Structure formats: structure tokens, C-alpha cells
Amino acid sequence: MPLPSYNPADYEAQLEAKLLRYRDDFAGFGLPEVEVFRSEPLHYRLRAEFRMWHEGTRVDYAMFDSDDPKVPVIIDDFPPAADPIRLLMPRLREALMGCEVLKRKIFQVEFLATLSGDCLVSLVYHRPLDADWEVAARALGQALRVRVIGRSRKQKIVLERDWVQESFELDGRTLQYKQVEGSFTQPNGGVNRQMLGWARARAAVLGGGRPAGQRGDLLELYCGNGNFTVALAPQFDRVLATEMSKTSVYAAHDNLAANGIDNVTMVRMASEEISDALAGGREYRRMKGVELASYRFGTLFVDPPRSGLDDATLALARGFDHILYISCNPQTLRDNVAALSATHAISAAAAFDQFPYTHHLECGLVLTRR
């Protein structure tokens, strides 16, 4: 696929094309009016990665067009990148060019930033990293005021820490998140904040506005670092949140504590496993101490990877009154909605333009028991 061009003049047309496809794809399922959440037209990406292209003494950021994969496209400016990344890019490149130890066999650079201005850069090499590299990288981090990580085969050197701190306001609360390098974080911070707001508004309609003790419990699958968990937990009596990645579960524990959330139990489990456990399947050691029977689940929240929900999770979902579904892949979302259509109808829909100028669209649906 060719590299996208990032022209704000095209923003509305590209979004409209995606919305048309979304409405078309779900026309057979009685899609209600879609609430649309726009991205900033530029400078919205909190993650970016580039190959480093060496030519003589130069080193440049590069990307590759899959139609012509051998020819690098040199990137002087990357308009989608959020300001902490965009401002750092030229300064980092200059610094790499001025330091042989940092430049030699550098293969890739990955940036991770937050809306609140934190930034981390991973320098990836095709050579082992030694003490000289570490001295130079430390000086680089201080000069550019950025956290630096060095990676090479079987080697990861974290100079300060391997995470960035996010913080933003949502519905009167200041939410804090630790975002760990190399694990899943939402790429478009502004759109993510709108997704959290939409999910909270939907949860309020589903009972989250009721007094404590009458809100029901939430089961959340694919919770990552607790991105939605932290936002939604105050709207439910209790939450059971699950996720497969160890790093994300550790970050989620920290994020719950940092936000003063005490009604969430977090378990590291694959969705297939928790679905099996809830269906009365085998006993899981990781569920020790979790009284599944004591939960009064009314709502299921899912934010799966592109592959969507597996069969066991679909079977679990059929037992819920309300399903809040965030999806980064309308195709698998449609398959899952079809699989649930005998028991559930779509009662609310949203589109989040998390990936402007690409054909990708993030969707939100509420499915309600018929």
C-alpha cells in the first residue's frame, strides 16, 4: 500500500469515505445514527517508528512504500507525529550524525510520547551495544531531555525508565497512566480521550449513573494497561478486568493505584481462558481468590485485537445484557455482530478517526439483549 499523504484539506473527505463504508457494512444490522469523533488533522500520533537510512556520512529517517519496497522514502518532516516527536526528530538526527558511536549500525528509531509532553526514544541497532554506547546515549538523553532505550539482538539497555507518563482531564478527573515501551498503547491520544468519554457516557446510560450498590458489575476483556478500566471503574460497583500481556497487567496495577481505584480485580488471562472459567470450565491458578460467583455482571466491555472475538468469548458475550465493544477492525466487528445478532441488537454506534488518511477506522458499538 502506498504511503498516505497527510493533507488537512483532505481530512473531511477521507473520513466521509470511511463513514460511508461503515454505514454500508452494517446496514443489515439496523445501525443507529453514528456519533462521529474526529482526530486533529495533523500532529495526532503518539507513536512513530522509522528505519534509519545510511548514505555516506548521512543518516535519515525513512519509510518504505509497499508498492516499491526497496526504495526508501526519506522523511524530513512527519506531519502526523505529535509535537514532542516532531520537535525531537530533527534534533535527534543531528545528534546521531554528530556521534559515530550512536550512529554506527543504527537500524531503526521508535518514538513514544504522551499528550502531557513526556517522550521516549528507542534506538535499535544491528550491533551489540557497549559501555561507550551507554556513555554517549546518556549524554544524548540529557542534551535532548528525552528518555533513551538502546536495543540490539538479545539486548535492551534502559537508561532511565522504559515508560512514559500520560496525564489528562476527563469528566472532571485527572487520569494518570504509565505507558510502557513495546506494549500496546492507543496511538492517537486525542481520539483515545474521546473514546474514553464516549464509553463513560454509554456506561452512564447502562446504569453507571445509579447510586453505589445498584450499578452492577463490569467484566472487561483485553484491558491492556487499564486505559478504559481507570475511566470506567467508578461507574460500576465492581470490575473484573483481564488481559494477556504480563507487562500490560503490571502497568494496569500501577495505573489503578495511581488513580485511586479500589474496586477492580485484575487477572492475567487470555479471553479464551476467562470465557472458559466463567462457563464453568477448568480451574485456573491465576483465578485463585477470585469469587466468580459473587459478581453481578450486567455489562461486558471488550476492546480486542484486529482478529476480534473468538468463539468462546462470543459464547460468553451472549449471556450479557449489554456489550460495549470497541473495535479497530470493522470487518471482524461485523462478523462478531452477525454471530451475536440472534441475541443482541445494536443500540448505539460511534466512529473514532484514530488513523486519519488511512483506510482504518476505530468503531464503538453498544449491543443490547433483544
Catalytic residue numbers, as ranges: 328, 362
Least Å distance between CB 322 and ligand SAM? 17
Q: Are 173 and 181 in contact (CB under 8 A)?
A: no
What are the grid coordinates assigned to 225, written together?
494497561
Closer of 123 and 324 to ligand SAM (Cβ): 324
Among 186, 235, 259, 299, binds ligand SAM (CB under 6 A): 186
Whether 297 contacts 277, CB under 8 Å: no
**Whose Cβ is closer to ligand SAM: residue 39's or residue 248's?**
248
User: Rounded to a whole number, what is the largest CA-CA distance in the chain?
Assistant: 68
Task: Identify the residue among 29, 198, 222, 320 touching ligand SAM (CB under 6 A).
Answer: 222
- Torsion region of 241: left, alpha or beta (phi above 0 gives left; psi -120 to 50 gives alpha): beta
User: Taking CB under 6 A as the rule, does residue 248 contact ligand SAM?
Assistant: yes
User: Which range in 52-60, 85-93, 257-265, 300-308 contacts ligand SAM by CB under 6 A?
Assistant: 300-308
The footprint of ligand SAM on this chain (CB under 6 A) covers a number of residues equal to 18
Question: Interface with ligand SAM by CB under 6 A: which range of 27-35, 71-79, 123-131, 238-246?
Answer: 238-246
Contact (Cβ atoms closer than 8 angstroms) between residue 121 and residue 85: no
Rg (CA), the chain: 22
245 binds ligand SAM (CB under 6 A): yes
Does residue 271 belong to the site contacting ligand SAM (CB under 6 A)? yes
Instruction: Tell me the closest approach of the beta carbon of residue 245 to ligand SAM, in angstroms.
Output: 4
Identify the CA nearest to 364 among candidates 297, 317, 302.
302
Q: Which span (28-36, 74-82, 118-126, 217-225) binds ligand SAM, by CB under 6 A? A: 217-225
HSE at residue 25, side-chain half, CA atoms within 13 A, is: 20
* Cβ atoms 119, 149 nearer than 8 A: no
Give the one residue of 90, 281, 305, 319 binding ligand SAM; rule: CB under 6 A: 305
Q: 86 or 178, CB closer to ligand SAM?
A: 178
Binding piece for ligand SAM, criterion CB under 6 A, among 8-16, 100-108, 205-213, 218-226: 218-226
Helix or strand or coil: residue 117? Answer: coil
Is residue 325 near ligand SAM by the rule CB under 6 A? no
Tell me the C-alpha distance between 177 and 35, whole Å. Answer: 26
- Taking the least distance from each CB to ligand SAM, the nearer of 73 and 314 is 314
User: What distances in angstroms separate CA 368 from CA 200, 209, 311, 346, one per listed residue?
Assistant: 16, 18, 19, 6
Among 166, 181, 237, 243, binds ligand SAM (CB under 6 A): 243
Residue nearest to ligand SAM (CB): 224
Residue of the chain from 303, 349, 355, 362 that contacts ligand SAM (CB under 6 A): 303
Q: Which of 184, 198, 320, 352 binds ligand SAM (CB under 6 A)?
A: 184
Alpha helix positions (H), the chain: 11-25, 83-97, 100-103, 131-144, 189-203, 227-232, 246-258, 271-278, 311-317, 330-340
3-state secondary structure of 111: strand
Q: How many CB atoms are located within 10 Å of the residue 229 CB?
A: 23
> Can residue 194 be called a binding residue for ligand SAM (CB under 6 A)?
no
Interface residues toward ligand SAM, by CB under 6 A: 184, 186, 222-225, 227-228, 243-245, 248, 270-271, 303-305, 328
